[in-house]
């Protein structure tokens, strides 16, 4: 996914008006292979976001990912976790804490260059102080 960023950012500008919560849901769909409202799969949770949030306390994040993404290279799980943290940062219940799309691009670039997301959140203060607080929906 991070490879897509470098393909686009060389000739397109990123709009900061894009809905990061909407982008977060789309990213969750890509990572999980599930539709946002597949209620039969989510049982007590009525949507994809609630289902992902439920997986964290049980430490079942590995069960979140679409197995097709890991089929050829199981070592991608750590990279997928980084992308999951970006998606969840976009879905923060407090809109003021959601990253801008510029922050999201910076996070993807960090993943692409091999930087890891700390347990405190996505991003590092040395790159952008505004991204330091992004975590996995209260999962840090």
Taking the model in full, what pTM does it have? 0.69
Domain span holding position 14: 2-131
Does some domain include residue 136?
no
Q: What is the pLDDT along the chain (140 residues), one digit of tens a residue?
A: 545 455 455 555 555 556 789 999 999 999 999 988 876 778 776 789 988 888 877 767 778 899 899 888 888 888 999 999 999 999 999 988 999 999 999 999 999 988 655 433 443 333 344 444 554 444 44
Does some domain include residue 36?
yes
Does some domain include residue 116?
yes
* Number of domains within the chain: 1
Report pLDDT for 126: 31
Domain of residue 100, CATH code: 1.10.510.10
Residue 77: exposure state from Cβ atoms within 10 A (0-12, 13-18, ≥19) = middle
């Amino acid at each position: 996914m991070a490879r897509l960023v470098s393909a686009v950012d060389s000739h397109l500008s990123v709009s900061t008006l894009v809905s990061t919560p909407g982008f977060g849901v789309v990213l969750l769909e890509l990572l999980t292979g599930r539709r946002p409202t597949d209620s039969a799969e989510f049982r007590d949770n009525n949507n994809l976001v609630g289902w992902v949030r439920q997986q964290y306390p049980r430490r079942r994040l590995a069960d979140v990912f679409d197995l097709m993404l890991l089929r050829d290279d199981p070592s991608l799980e750590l990279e997928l976790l980084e992308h999951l943290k970006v998606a969840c940062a976009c879905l923060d219940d407090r809109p003021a804490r959601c990253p801008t799309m510029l922050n999201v691009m910076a996070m993807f670039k960090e993943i692409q260059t091999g930087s890891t997301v700390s347990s405190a959140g996505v991003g590092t203060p040395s790159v952008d102080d505004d991204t330091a607080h992004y975590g996995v929906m209260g999962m840090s």
